[in-house]
Amino acid sequence: MASSYYKLDITDRTQIRTKGSKALRREGIVPGVLYYAGEANVNISVDKMVLFHALQSGQRIYEIEQKGDTQFTMIKELQYHPVTDEVIHIDLMRVRRSEKMTISVPLVLVGESDGVKEGGILSQAMNQIEISCFPTDVPENILLNIEDLEMNSSKSVADISLDNDDIEILSAQDLNVVSIHMPAAEEEPEVEDIGDEEGVEGEETTEEGSDSDEAGGDSKES
């Protein structure tokens, strides 16, 4: 659970046309929109470096100040430049601390499984899990202990246990999270047996040599 939230400094944006957005980007400013159900959308902007540090913080919920009122938001969508991969637009979704929200958080495997110790291959099928919780209860990640995971076995969402009763897992319980399987057997290359052929060639050479000797002997006798 996050005890505090990264403060994301945003400003209201008056330049809403494409030309105005391009001008902001040249100044190192990322244009965006703040959404909240039942209220009008608000055009905003945020400094590129401020946004960068916010993303690096690892948090999912951010604190913002809007018209003197402290609010909480989550990132709804980020748009990236197709060439430079820089963020060129951000959509924020306002959330209330008194209302549950749906969010995806990282799923982290903990421990070394028995199957891996025996030489098995670990395959993780899920890296994110969808949960429902209050903004004040959003965890940095969800942990799954795999120390007892044996060879040719797996764990699903149903095997995840949570300490907080206010957090509900929304992902399907039967979804596979991680499995251990035997490594694929390596096929040994076939070696062609050429010993007999070499022997035959040698015999032919010997016979040819004998014929030559006989021919030479006949020549001497004559």
pLDDT, tens digit (0-9, with 9 covering 90-100), for 171-189: 999 999 999 999 987 666 6
Buried b (16+ CB within 10 A) or exposed e, 27-58: eebbbbbbbbeeeeebbbbbbbebbeebbeee
43 and 106 co-located in one domain:
no
For the chain, the domain total comes to 2
- Domain membership of residue 218 (yes or no) is no
Q: Give the pLDDT band (50/70/90) at residue 80.
A: very high
Question: What does the H/E/C string look like for 182-207?
Answer: CCCCCCCCCCCCCHHHHHHHHHHHHH
- Domain membership of residue 214 (yes or no) is no
pLDDT tens profile 27-56: 999 999 999 888 899 999 999 999 999 999
Q: From the CB of residue 20, how many other CB atoms can be counted at a distance below 10 Å?
A: 15
- Does pLDDT of 98 surpass 90? no
